[in-house]
Amino acid sequence: MSRKPATPNGRFRSQEWFEAPGHIDMAALYLERFMNYGITPQELRSGRPIIGIAQSGSDLSPCNRIHLDLAQRVREGIRDAGGICMEFPCHPIFENCRRPTAAVDRNLSFMTLVEILHGYPLDAVVLTTGCDKTTPAGIMAATAVDIPAIVLSGGPMLDGWHDGDLVGSGTVIWRSRRKLAAGEITEDEFLEAACASAPSAGHCNTMGTASTMNAVAETLGLSLPGCSAIPAPYRERGQMAYETGRRIVEMAYEDLKPSKILTKASFLNAIAAVAALGGSTNAQPHIVAMARHAGVELTPEDWMAAYDIPLILNMQPAGKYLGERFHRAGGVPAIHVELLKAGMLDGTAATITGKTIAENVEGRETRDREMIRTVAEPLMERAGFLVLKGNLFDFAIMKTSVISPEFRQRYLSEPGREGVFEGRAIVFDGSTDYHERINDPALNIDEHCILVIRGSGPVGWPGSAEVVNMQPPDALLKKGITSLPTIGDGRQSGTADSPSILNASPESAVGGGLAWLRTGDTIRIDINTGACDMLVSAEEIEKRKADGIPAYPESMTMWQEIYRQTVGQLHTGAVMEPALKYTKIADKMPRH
């Protein structure tokens, strides 16, 4: 009577609990407590798949809170398709509010989800995503466990409006911060503009890290097509939740696990999509982390191969508009169509629909050319991340799509030396030091300076802080100089419009080159070759090593200590290195 799953033994994982062959006492124990909220033993012993809903929404996760409502539609989809659902909470990750940084929680949420997916009777999982790190954390865990998984984004907020202008998440903060420092607005006006950018439930409405990572999930083939861009309050969001619930039941029967979907081609597609979208620089460590848990190695060359991909989406921070228009213009499938036409996406990559990515998006070309351009007539050439290296670090990236014409003119247009800039380093040890000293007249900061921040990487912060988009001193802002070149071993917000050199690895705290830089040194940046060096002799650098690694703050919690002991660097995804030993553990059944 009942359908059999396409698993190697023709059984669901959960049957090892609820039928527990040869262990009726254990089966009874596993079953009985679910009765206390009304499930029947017949349901749990019916051979139907048990589908987890990894609930990432809560009052502490406002960006994902819509999932508390959406879960009802997911459940209805699961039931209609013949599954049984069990919803459980994820460790909250709220990008803007978690101190010292939400980055320290990506690996914690990953690790706890691995334990849940492995240790409980679950056959498949719906990953509810939204805020920046909730997407990679969920995908990393489902991939490590290798259990059928589908991503349901909660969707962005509606577009924000203030004083007749579009105001986007994050971008409004960076702009208002500059206006406040220049004395153009009051503190009250700052708060008013910031709050106007958040008009409804949902995650950031710009192409910041949240929208980028949900678009990445869709490009990896882990969401239903069109899922990521639907604004949270739209009716299509509830419909997508229902369809996602239905599809995951089929995936459980098909035993369609991440290992059957995620290949090197999927990750190269994700890198290409990030370039075309003008996506967040945070995509770099997250894509690498997901790839490594999937057993795929990405190299600096893989990122550079996407450098030539142009910007085709007109969305803040690289462009003009916000999430609602992106969805109406066709969302991520319309981006895929353009990249496929240009041969910049591998259309044969597998997806959770059971079809290829090219089959999924057939006929979904945009009708809004103001929002989504063609590769032939883009908004900007070369929107990928430029990879840099030199004696300051082995790896760092720069999002050249946010270099303004004014910045390019001032720093990168010296006749005969286009793309080359030399400046005097002003070095800060962490963001507290930056805030204390940036307006110190003794530093004598002018437009020929490069602001450098260290002690802000995975070990130094800990977690790696979004601090590299440092604002120039107030005196320069008043003169109309809104950005200086910046370098750091931390990250920056995906919504920042600053052309920083960031994610520098290895970081200062583990003895990377930034540790030996001193204020007053000259740094040369060449964006033609990707070279970035301090013009300091090797002998002098050796001498400076006697001073030791610049101090960074102590751990304040046990998790911070564990995190620091296990984390790698940003260029390798800042994953817990020992976690890579544990792959495809769904098949390794835990003991009774």
Q: How many whole angstroms separate alpha carbon 149 and alpha carbon 320?
A: 34
CA distances from 270 to 14, 119, 306 (A): 33, 31, 10
Nearest residue (CB) to ligand FES, 56 versus 431: 56
How near is the Cβ of 316 to ligand FES at its closest, in Å?
13
How near is the Cβ of 366 to ligand FES at its closest, in Å?
24
Task: Mark 329-343 as b/e (b = at least 16 C-beta within 10 Å).
Answer: bbbbbbbbbbbbebe
Nearest residue (CB) to ligand FES, 209 versus 263: 209
Burial of 375 (0-12, 13-18, 19+ CB in 10 A): middle
Q: Please list every residue from 114 through 133 that binds Mg ion, using CB under 5 A.
A: 132
Task: Indicate the angle between helix axes 209-219 and 264-277, nearest 10 degrees.
Answer: 140
How near is the Cβ of 203 to ligand FES at its closest, in Å?
3
Phi and psi of 570, rounded to 5°? -60, -35
DSSP label at residue 64: G
Bridge pairing between strands 522-526 and 531-534 = antiparallel
Nearest residue (CB) to ligand FES, 131 versus 322: 131
Phi and psi of 359, rounded to 5°? -65, -40
Q: Please identify which residue in 50, 62, 92, 95 interacts with Mg ion, judged by CB under 5 A.
A: 95
Number of residues that bind Mg ion (CB under 5 A): 5
Q: Is residue 61 at the binding interface for Mg ion, with CB under 5 A as the rule?
A: no
Q: Is residue 209 at the binding interface for Mg ion, with CB under 5 A as the rule?
A: yes
Q: Please state the three-class secondary structure of 299-314 as a single string.
A: CHHHHHHCCCCCECEC
Q: How many residues does the chain have?
A: 592
493 binds, among Mg ion, ligand FES, none (CB under 5 to 8 A by kind): Mg ion
How near is the Cβ of 459 to ligand FES at its closest, in Å?
24
Nearest residue (CB) to ligand FES, 213 versus 387: 213
How near is the Cβ of 527 to ligand FES at its closest, in Å?
28
Q: Please list every residue from 367 through 396 that binds Mg ion, using CB under 5 A.
A: none
How near is the Cβ of 209 to Mg ion at its closest, in Å?
4
Q: How many whole angstroms separate alpha carbon 346 and alpha carbon 231?
A: 27
Q: How many whole angstroms separate alpha carbon 226 and alpha carbon 331?
A: 6
169 binds, among ligand FES, Mg ion, none (CB under 5 to 8 A by kind): ligand FES
83 binds, among ligand FES, Mg ion, none (CB under 5 to 8 A by kind): none
How near is the Cβ of 60 to ligand FES at its closest, in Å?
11
Q: How many whole angstroms separate alpha carbon 276 and alpha carbon 332?
A: 10
Q: Is residue 284 at the binding interface for Mg ion, with CB under 5 A as the rule?
A: no
204 binds, among ligand FES, Mg ion, none (CB under 5 to 8 A by kind): ligand FES
63 binds, among Mg ion, ligand FES, none (CB under 5 to 8 A by kind): ligand FES
**Ramachandran quadrant class, 419 (left: phi over 0; alpha: psi -120 to 50; beta: rest):** left
How near is the Cβ of 228 to ligand FES at its closest, in Å?
12
203 binds, among Mg ion, ligand FES, none (CB under 5 to 8 A by kind): ligand FES
Bridge pairing between strands 385-388 and 84-89 = unpaired
Q: How many whole angstroms separate alpha carbon 204 and alpha carbon 232?
A: 10
Q: Please identify which residue in 284, 493, 500, 569 interacts with Mg ion, judged by CB under 5 A.
A: 493
Tokens of 278: 């003008």
Chain contacts with ligand FES (rule: CB under 6 A): 63, 95-96, 131-132, 169, 203-204, 208, 210
How near is the Cβ of 96 to Mg ion at its closest, in Å?
7
Question: Which residue is associated with the tokens 């005097």?
Answer: 424
Nearest residue (CB) to ligand FES, 29 versus 97: 97
331 binds, among ligand FES, Mg ion, none (CB under 5 to 8 A by kind): none
How near is the Cβ of 132 to Mg ion at its closest, in Å?
5
Bridge pairing between strands 160-162 and 165-167 = antiparallel
131 binds, among ligand FES, Mg ion, none (CB under 5 to 8 A by kind): ligand FES
Can you tell me whether residue 489 is helix, strand or coil?
Answer: coil
506 binds, among ligand FES, Mg ion, none (CB under 5 to 8 A by kind): none
Question: Kind and range of the H or E element at 195?
Answer: helix 187-196
Q: How many whole angstroms separate alpha carbon 169 and alpha carbon 77?
A: 32
| Residues in contact with Mg ion by the rule CB under 5 A | 95, 132, 209, 493-494
